[in-house]
Structure 1
């Protein structure tokens, strides 16, 4: 059953689909996918080409727009848009600490989650597409991890695509997770240095907060164990266009004077909790390193291991000197499964995924080299989340893919840039720019 309703200038329709859990076993267990269709109010009755949006992540449902926000307004000028909650996210069949025990123990849970990577998401799209388009190919817009999925789409089912648009999401075709994080830590350090250059008063604020956390046990309202390492991980904000400003505003109200002396304020702890908790997107923590796994090598907590090669990120060592505290970024660590109550029951499952050695390939280099689908990618210069050099190497490996390299935006350019980024990508794909 579908339900349609209106927002200003837009008609929205809730859609649900049943797809196989394992597309290699189409007669086996099924899961449900949710997607929201969006069409311009004055075009609702017209036969329009489809654009399917693949959200970044992994682990996030599609963005909930109000009206024609961000890039959606540009898309609605000519497309009927499908905002897909990828499997396990949003309103699709959930995968979290509450539902995963239905699968059995940690081993069964880990096996189940191997079917929640880009290859399965592509197969989901191909199962859905004929039901909506009558078999016609559609345009895919992939942001961040959604771009990874788009490159998998070009590898696995290019016949389903009329155009491929990628923003901030060109993956390395061959790099192991170790290589990804070895390239990432220097970028994180540059973003941290740029933040302190913009807000030098934050150097002392960050050191004071970290020192406070190193000396005592602090628990967030939801039970999260707030450690110095957890505080450093707030550097993930620095990958967004307004992230440095958001981090600054967060730090400026960290302490409050109380009868017991200065303490971290309730307001600060509440804001930190909303940023650190994985309750709403546990698959991000569980599968983040698995999105890079394609062979018999385990990921083995790559971000944690590689971090040891960059001792400047050690909070205690930083505080022993007089330099600024380094922040970290888009990295997942074992301690998160001890600190976060939404992840604690899944610690053993995460360990099994980190040790797994039977990952299947996500990309087909030969097929990409023979690509015939018009494709364009926005590559953000010095993107904190996705390595620029890796992105450009992959772009060179995809026949006919054109890039737009820009330093006007950070990783969230498709959101922060309003209609401009999508407008430019469409023009590039059509050889109009």
Structure 2
């Protein structure tokens, strides 16, 4: 272990060895990394309860805080916090285009990655909990996909949980991937309409950029191809609290004059690269639809198939008419594995995962209906990433779960809201509100 200090905090790097397949504990192992964080004036205390933070995604390592930022400052007032890099992410035996060939070809890679869903993550957490807490249960804070993991945790190992707090991450217990995306596209359209109402000049800007991309090849600084469909993927920004403003600032300076005529500026392409590249989180793309798979057959590129039911998202049809270009949201498509250099080598692996049919169920409705663990969840009123109606259905299905439904925040409320969101959820879970 390595221990060091930041303003107000003491941090310790921790590494844990876990089985790749928990059903074969004597088989291959992975290393999982966690960053322990404690307030500087409480570092010597041995009686602090633990709070485990599960990041959203899938595919993202835990957020790297500098000092007691956002919710972390509230948490360390009473907890010793573990910021966990879920398996395959961050410093936990990474799974990327560079490392996965060590497994063999696409078939071997797909078989390996089938062990990287919420069920395996939760079993990692239980093994780690027993090492850290001496067997005592801990509080879990799950953001977005981290909330999906926490919901699985409630049904799979409730004995390990003191309290569960979920922010923007109550999943449907039974919706197929098709149903998830069929609910998503209308929400994304509403976010587009709100963006254009705020920034009406962006209607023409977005159309002009998309039209340019249909006639000119654009290569991002990292080698990615910016096609009209890839450009539409910038709608991923619209689910965050300041995302509409970020998108506007990106669009307003897209073109520069050149001897050959107007061209997309280097600054614009650099900005797009920062938002669209999967180099830092390839599992987000590779496993994104698999997080919804529960024995209903293959996911089969559900976002791409369902998109055909919403022709207003078709860039070619939009440019042939006079309506606004609609940006897409949290969707992954086969062409991502063509346009993005970080994903191209994983294309066959992704195809195999999309075709897989034997995914195990992730949630246990009977155990959730009998839940005894205090649970509180922030449900954002029109969350672009997680369907509000699905979340509220799940909230009703989990015994004792208390919700805070709010339109004060977007999906990133736990970060944007500072300590307030965590403070309110703790009060709800403890019956103080």
Q: Shorter-chain TM-score: what band?
A: over 0.9
TM-score (norm 2): 0.99
TM-score (norm 1): 0.99
- In structure 1, how many angstroms separate the alpha carbons of the residues matched to 2:237 and 2:104? 35
- In structure 2, how many angstroms separate the alpha carbons of the residues matched to 1:71 and 1:216? 45
Q: Deviation at 1:174?
A: 0.3
For structure 2, the 5+ residue unaligned runs are none
- In structure 1, how many angstroms separate the alpha carbons of the residues matched to 2:381 and 2:248? 23
- In structure 2, how many angstroms separate the alpha carbons of the residues matched to 1:221 and 1:422? 39
Give the secondary structure class of the aligned counterpart of 1:367.
helix
- In structure 2, how many angstroms separate the alpha carbons of the residues matched to 1:176 and 1:392? 17
Q: Deviation at 1:195?
A: 0.1
- In structure 1, how many angstroms separate the alpha carbons of the residues matched to 2:114 and 2:296? 14
What residue in structure 1 maps to residue 178 of structure 2?
178
Report if aligned partners of 2:226, 2:339 keep a CA contact under 8 Å in 1.
Answer: yes
Report if aligned partners of 2:13, 2:35 keep a CA contact under 8 Å in 1.
Answer: yes
Pairing of 1:28-177 with structure 2 (within 5 A) = 28-46=27-45, 47-177=47-177
Give the secondary structure class of the aligned counterpart of 2:27.
coil
Q: Deviation at 1:296?
A: 4.2
What residue in structure 1 maps to residue 21 of structure 2?
22
Cα shift readout 1:396-427 (whole Å, capped 9, x = no counterpart): 00000100000000000000000000000000
Q: Deviation at 1:319?
A: 1.1
Give the secondary structure class of the aligned counterpart of 1:334.
coil
2:348 aligned with 1:339:
no
Cα shift readout 1:364-404 (whole Å, capped 9, x = no counterpart): 00000000000000000010000000000000000001000
- In structure 1, how many angstroms separate the alpha carbons of the residues matched to 2:304 and 2:376? 33
- In structure 2, how many angstroms separate the alpha carbons of the residues matched to 1:378 and 1:271? 31
What residue in structure 2 maps to residue 428 of structure 1?
428
- In structure 2, how many angstroms separate the alpha carbons of the residues matched to 1:411 and 1:315? 26
What residue in structure 2 maps to residue 320 of structure 1?
320
- In structure 2, how many angstroms separate the alpha carbons of the residues matched to 1:245 and 1:275? 14
Q: Deviation at 1:255?
A: 0.4
Give the secondary structure class of the aligned counterpart of 1:299.
coil
Q: Deviation at 1:274?
A: 1.0
Say how many residue pairs are matched. 432
What residue in structure 2 maps to residue 252 of structure 1?
252
2:193 aligned with 1:187:
no
- In structure 2, how many angstroms separate the alpha carbons of the residues matched to 1:190 and 1:209? 21
Give the secondary structure class of the aligned counterpart of 1:363.
coil
Give the secondary structure class of the aligned counterpart of 1:258.
coil
What residue in structure 1 maps to residue 304 of structure 2?
304
- In structure 1, how many angstroms separate the alpha carbons of the residues matched to 2:216 and 2:281? 28
Give the secondary structure class of the aligned counterpart of 2:298.
coil
2:20 aligned with 1:13:
no
Q: Deviation at 1:59?
A: 0.1
- In structure 1, how many angstroms separate the alpha carbons of the residues matched to 2:218 and 2:100? 29
Q: Deviation at 1:218?
A: 1.1
What residue in structure 1 maps to residue 387 of structure 2?
387
Pairing of 1:353-364 with structure 2 (within 5 A) = 353-364=353-364
What residue in structure 1 maps to residue 2 of structure 2?
3
What residue in structure 2 maps to residue 268 of structure 1?
268
Structure 1: 4+ residue segments shifted above 3 A: none
For structure 1, the 5+ residue unaligned runs are none
Root-mean-square deviation (CA, aligned residues, Å) is 0.5
Q: Deviation at 1:216?
A: 1.7
- In structure 1, how many angstroms separate the alpha carbons of the residues matched to 2:361 and 2:283? 20
Q: Deviation at 1:430?
A: 0.6
- In structure 1, how many angstroms separate the alpha carbons of the residues matched to 2:68 and 2:222? 34
- In structure 2, how many angstroms separate the alpha carbons of the residues matched to 1:181 and 1:265? 33
Give the secondary structure class of the aligned counterpart of 2:329.
coil
